[in-house]
Amino acid sequence: MMLVLWSANIEKGRDLEYKEFITKNIDAYRKHSPPGWTLKGVYGSTMNIGRFDVTWIWECKKFSDFDVMREHSDPVLDKMCIDEGDFYVPGSFNMTVLREVGDWMVLPPKKKGK
């Protein structure tokens, strides 16, 4: 299982408008999400602590789900994403992909030379 954290900053003064937009549309985002993707929630930073204003948390099972997401086309989701994009500060995006520790791929340490 993987968690995908997508974060961004909201344009100054639009926080309440963004909150209302997301609250109104959250069920539609869940209903129209790509196959294999589960929206766990949309979170706002508390007391402006942190680097980003909002973070979307998605869950998917495998890296091929990224191809499914990229190829997914749904007119309702497409319109919501276009409308949502107007809230963000351009270039403020960040994405992190986390795997469960049991599935986490790690390399062995470098062997020390003589």
Residue 114 pLDDT level (bands cut at 50, 70, 90):
low
Rounded to 5 degrees, φ, ψ at 61 are: -100, -35
Write out pLDDT tens, residues 58-106. 999 998 999 999 999 999 999 999 999 999 999 999 999 999 888 888 8
The predicted pLDDT at position 21 comes to: 97
Alpha-carbon 25 to chain mean position: 15
Q: Can you give the pTM of this predicted structure?
A: 0.86
Neighbours of 55 (CB within 10 A): 19
Tokens standing for residue 48: 């402006």
Write out pLDDT tens, residues 48-64. 888 999 999 999 999 89
Running DSSP on this structure, what letter comes out for residue 89? P
The DSSP bridge pattern shows strands 38-44 and 94-99 to be unpaired
